[in-house]
Amino acid sequence: DPETTYAGLLKMAEDKGVAWVHAIRMPSTGIDSLALTRDNYSGTLIGSDSYTADEAESCIANKEVDAVSFGRLYIANPDLVARFEANGPFNQMDKRTIYGGEGAAGYTDYPLLSGDA
């Protein structure tokens, strides 16, 4: 039972004074991982998994999370803040290069909004 298991782990994290928990949204599981975390842990909650800028702002404003991380979106958009401010466009991540590859491919070759790479 994942909910019971994670509720117990989160309570242990709470008791140990863990500073923050990074929870991934997992709608396909039928478990609201953010609510489960909020219900069992009162520290800082960082949410992740494919947030848009608007979703992130809304979730923070509604106190669903304290912060949002942008892993995959940031990998392909190292100038992510500028892209959020400009409302895009956003590069698509090349999944083939995430965990290795040759040279700059997938590491430093994503074009910046300014046109520099």
pLDDT tens sequence across 45-58: 999 988 999 999 99
Determine how many CB atoms are found less than 10 A away from the CB of residue 103. Answer: 9
Note the pLDDT tens digit of each residue in 46-105.
999 889 999 999 999 999 999 999 988 998 999 999 999 999 999 999 888 887 777 777
pTM of the model: 0.83
Task: Give SS3 for 3.
Answer: helix
Please report, to the nearest 10 degrees, the dihedral formed by the alpha carbons of residues 4, 6, 11, 14 taken in order.
Answer: -170
Share in percent of the chain as helix, strand, coil (round to 5): 45, 10, 45
Alpha-carbon distance of 72 to 87, in angstroms, equals 17
